[in-house]
Every structure is written in C-alpha cells, then in structure tokens.
Structure 1
Amino acid sequence: MTAGKVLVAYATRYGSTKDIAEVIADTIRKRGIETDCMDINTINPENMSVYDAFFVGSPLHLGKWLPEAKEFMQFRRDVLNKKPVFVFTCGITLKDKTEHILKKAEFALYEFSQYVKMDEKEFFAGKLTIADLNETDSQIVRIAGVGEGDYTDINTVNKWADGIADKYLKAQ
C-alpha cells in the first residue's frame, strides 16, 4: 500500500511508551512517510480519516492496557478497521519474554481484539524508575518485586518498524 500519512498513537503513564512511539515514528519518517506521533488523549477523532495506517501502543499496567488505550481501540474501530493497524505493548515485565509473560501480554490484547483487527503486534520491554511512580504504583511494584531499570532495546523497535514499512508502507 502507498502510505501518505501514518499516525503513531500511544497511551503512557511514565513516558516509556511515548519514547518507544517516538522511535517508531522516527523510523517511519526516515522512509519518507509523513508521520504524526500523538498521545491518545490528544487525538481528534474527526481527523483520523486522513491517516493511511495506524500504530497504537500502550504499557501494561496490572496486566492490562491502559483504559484510554482500550477505549481508543473500541470507540475508533470504524476508522481503524479500514486501515492497517500495528499494535505495540510495553512493560518492564517484558524484559523477560518467557512464554508465561508473553501469554499474559497477549491476553491484554484480547480485550479489544474483538473490535479491531491487528495486522501486526509486538511486545517491547520498557523502563521503570521507581522514584517517578505515584504511591499506589510504587507499592504495587514493591509487592511484585519488580526492579527498576531501562530495558528498552531501540534496535528491536527500529527493526520492527522497518519490517512493517517494508511489508506494508511505501512512501508516495
């Protein structure tokens, strides 16, 4: 397909998903494709028809996508289902891509997969800085025994976005 314009939409709590979304957007732009990268909460639904493809991402929070990301998928399904949709999920637990962890991450997608077809999906490790967390999230992280760190693999993100560009997107 020829892509005139791509939207990389993301939900985020502490910035890791935004960082990954920006890497994806930059990778697609390097292919000569006009690309917008926006927080889901700022997207005007009336403007979505100008896009030829969508990347949509959310972090895992307690094993689920953020509510605003799930709602975006559900309530914008009419537009999304007319174009290619590439989904990415981020989370600190994804640093260890065991079968169990990946099944849990896949399950998070089930909540909206009945509404929106996904052409491709990927799971990326993110970053966690405990000092940045609100009190509730900080307690959850401590109970779960999750350690902080930046496990983002920019090369993996670039490779995924490049692969999608090769397979689905061509500059006009």
Structure 2
Amino acid sequence: MEKTKILIAYGTRYGATASTAEEISQVLQEEGFNLKVVDLKKEKIQDIADFELVIVGSGMKMDMWTRKAKAFLKKFSSELKKKKVAIFVSSGGRALMEHKGENDEIDRITKKYLEDKASKYGLSPISMTMFGGVWDYNKMNKIYRKILDAEKENFVQAGINETEPGVYDTRNWDEIREWAKSIAGKL
C-alpha cells in the first residue's frame, strides 16, 4: 500500500517557520506518511495533484503573512478546496499576549491570521493553529528591533530567554509535535 503523500509548503522570514515545518514533517514521517517540505521562497511548486494533504505555514510579522505563502494560497485555491488542508502560523507575539492575559487579542489574531485567511480562499481546513515564533535580532531591521526593544522587559517576565545571543524562541515543541500527531489522526 502506498503511503499518503503530504506537502508542507511554508513562507518564513527568519527561519522559525522553516524549523517548525521540519518538526511537523519529522513527526508525520514517523507516523508513516510520505512528506515533501517546501520553502516557498526557494522552490516554486507547479502542481499539488499528488498530495492528499497540504499543510500551509507562514511566519507572521506586523499582522502579515509572508508574501510567498499568500501567493501559494491564491495560486492553488481552487485545487486546495478539493483537498485536505491544514494551516499554521508562527507568531513570536503569542507568548507575550498569553503572559499579559490578552486572550481577546489572541482570539482576534487567530481569527484574522487563520479563520479569515482560510475563508478568503474558500478553504475548510481539518486543523488550524498558531504556534510561537522566533525574534532574531541578528536578522531583523533596525526599526523592528527598536519596536521590540520596548517589549524586552516583558520577554523576561514571560519566561522568554535568549536561546543564543539576540535570539528569543517562543515555540513550544511539544505543542507542535502534538498538533502534527493530531493531523495524522485525521487522515
């Protein structure tokens, strides 16, 4: 029997969504699925016909998906409507909002980043989620660093520590693995 084929197509700015996609892929491979993982900035996808499930991921910055992930949804919207789809976004801000108890804001951005995006393209995903992300001061521009500097005190209070100089990783790897396993259970 042929293994179910899954495509993970993602857009990333600083690499958090890439490593999240790789972790999801690893879990799904361990569950017996055949995976293709594509960084949409590095590779153009011509066809998605061979895939039973398409997982689309995007990094978030200043309330925006990556350009390549948005373009992928637009290009393949009619094909995606006929497939199983899952969507995830990476958001460094999620951990700060949780720490501050900003549940209404989390609900708002979950609706905007996930539900509204799926609805815009007529998709009914089998699962959607928002993971933490990474703030990498070494890769971001000066203006964005200044904006985040105002929040640095909150990083420490929220338990967000530097994982290496200038890098703050807010992802929960167990949560990412559990989500991937839940996807496997829906196939």
Matched position secondary structure for 1:50: coil
Give the residue type in structure 2 aligned to 1:158. R
CA contact (8 A) 1:17 1:90 kept: yes
**How far apart, CA to CA, are the structure 2 residues paired with 1:3 and 1:132?**
38
Per-residue deviation, 1:161: 0.7
Of structures 1 and 2, the one scoring higher in RCO (CA 8 A, sep 6+) is 1
Per-residue deviation, 1:138: 2.2
Per-residue deviation, 1:43: 4.3
Determine whether 1:66 maps to 2:73.
no
Structure showing greater Rg: 2
Gap runs ≥5 in structure 2: 156-166
User: TM-score, length-normalised on structure 2?
Assistant: 0.80
Q: 1:11-160 residue pairs with structure 2 within 5 A? A: 11-95=11-95, 96-97=97-98, 98-109=103-114, 110-117=116-123, 118-142=125-149, 145=151, 147=155, 149-160=168-179
Matched position secondary structure for 2:14: coil
CA contact (8 A) 1:63 1:105 kept: no
CA contact (8 A) 1:3 1:53 kept: no
Give the residue type in structure 2 aligned to 1:114. K
**How far apart, CA to CA, are the structure 2 residues paired with 1:68 and 1:57?**
10
Higher helix share: 1
State which drifts further: 63-72 or 81-90: 63-72
* 1:97-140 deviation per Cα after TM superposition (whole angstroms, max 9, x unaligned): 42312312321232452214122101101121212212343234
2:184 maps to what in 1?
Answer: 165
**How far apart, CA to CA, are the structure 2 residues paired with 1:162 and 1:111?**
23
CA contact (8 A) 2:126 2:186 kept: no
Gap runs ≥5 in structure 1: none
Give the residue type in structure 1 aligned to 2:126. D
Q: Structure 1 stretches (4+) deviating beyond 6 angstroms?
A: none
What is the total number of aligned residue pairs between the two structures?
Answer: 166
Per-residue deviation, 1:91: 0.9
